[in-house]
């Protein structure tokens, strides 16, 4: 993919994903008025978990508590029961309690808006930190999950080995106007069309721009 093609590609992807469900963290952000705490917790729950399961778990948990203060008052068992069956639910329940404790001790219960500070919280990696900054605070950042990493490389837009490298490459190359929304676009695009194995290239409206790096077979 040529660097200049990214504008046309983004426009097309925006049109394509309109027919698919919005990623769960985006739904939580929209429904909560972009509450950074709820974005943070829902993102933590979403790791290695399907969107439907994450959405249902988030709804159950937030019905019990929706702030660091009220969440900390829940027992580990109560959190586990609320978020089951998300992936690693026992570990995540403990992390949620630890996060709430640190938010109250260090930030008066507020979620920090800086990536370096977010990374000091239990269970928070760069993907989660960037999502909180971009979705929760609408500040510049690029959230790179497996879909963003895989598709950016498949397009030939970047050539990187892991999501961290992809984030840095995109920060150097992707126009800043697309930083915040890039993840929201590529997640449903990757889940529904540009799938990991045998993507639907014959249906893809951006096929002429795509280098199809690593694609061995397609539909």
Identified catalytic residue from 92, 145, 173, 184: 145
Sequence ranges of the domains in the chain: 3-21+142-203, 35-136
- Please report the pLDDT score of residue 211 as a whole number: 97
- Please report the pLDDT score of residue 161 as a whole number: 97
**Span 146-162, average pLDDT:** 97
pLDDT digits 0-9 by tens, 100-150:
999 999 999 999 999 999 999 999 999 999 999 999 999 999 999 999 999
Contact 42, 28 (CB under 8 A): yes
- CATH fold of 35-136 reads Endonuclease III; domain 1 (1.10.340)
pLDDT digits 0-9 by tens, 167-202:
999 999 999 999 999 999 999 999 999 999 999 999
Residue 161 to residue 149: CA distance in whole angstroms: 9
- Please report the pLDDT score of residue 41 as a whole number: 97
145 a catalytic residue: yes
DSSP letters along 41-71, please? HHHHHHTTS-HHHHHHHHHHHHHH--SHHHH
Closest CA to 131 of 119, 116, 143: 143
| 117-151 per-residue burial string, b: 16 or more CB within 10 A, e: under 16 | ebeebebbebbbbbbbbbbbbeeebbbbbebbbbb
Residue 86 to residue 48: CA distance in whole angstroms: 8
- Please report the pLDDT score of residue 1 as a whole number: 92
- Please report the pLDDT score of residue 69 as a whole number: 97
**Span 48-66, average pLDDT:** 96
Closest CA to 167 of 155, 175, 158: 158
| Chain Cα centroid distance, residue 96 | 17
CATH match of 3-21+142-203 with 1.10.1670.10? yes
pLDDT digits 0-9 by tens, 87-99:
999 999 999 999 9
- Please report the pLDDT score of residue 212 as a whole number: 97
Report helix, strand or coil for 120.
coil
What does each C-alpha distance from 81 to 74, 84, 112 come to in angstroms?
11, 5, 28
Residue 111 to residue 123: CA distance in whole angstroms: 14
139 a catalytic residue: no
Identified catalytic residue from 5, 92, 113, 127: 127
Residue 113 DSSP symbol? S
pLDDT digits 0-9 by tens, 12-55:
999 999 999 888 999 999 999 999 999 999 999 999 999 999 99
Find the angle CA(60)-CA(51)-CA(205) to the nearest 5 degrees.
Answer: 155
């Amino acid at each position: 993919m040529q660097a200049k093609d990214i504008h046309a590609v983004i426009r097309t992807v925006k049109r394509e994903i309109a027919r698919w469900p919005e990623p769960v963290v985006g739904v939580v952000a929209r429904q909560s008025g972009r509450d950074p705490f709820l974005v943070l917790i829902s993102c933590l729950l979403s790791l290695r978990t399907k969107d439907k399961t994450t959405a249902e778990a988030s709804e159950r948990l937030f019905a019990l508590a929706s702030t660091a203060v009220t969440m900390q008052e829940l027992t580990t068992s109560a959190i586990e029961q609320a978020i089951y069956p998300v992936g690693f639910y026992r570990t995540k329940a403990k992390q949620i309690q630890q996060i709430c404790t640190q938010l109250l001790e260090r930030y008066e219960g507020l979620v920090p808006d800086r990536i370096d500070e977010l990374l000091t919280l239990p269970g928070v990696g760069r993907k989660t930190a960037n999502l909180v900054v971009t979705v929760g605070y609408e500040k510049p950042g690029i959230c790179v999950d497996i879909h963003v990493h895989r598709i950016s490389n498949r397009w030939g837009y970047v050539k990187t080995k892991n999501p961290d490298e992809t984030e840095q490459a995109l920060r150097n190359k992707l126009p800043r106007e697309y930083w915040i929304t890039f993840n929201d676009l590529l997640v449903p695009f990757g889940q529904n069309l540009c799938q990991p194995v045998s993507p639907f290239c014959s249906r893809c409206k951006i096929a002429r721009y795509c280098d199809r790096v690593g694609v061995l077979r397609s539909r």
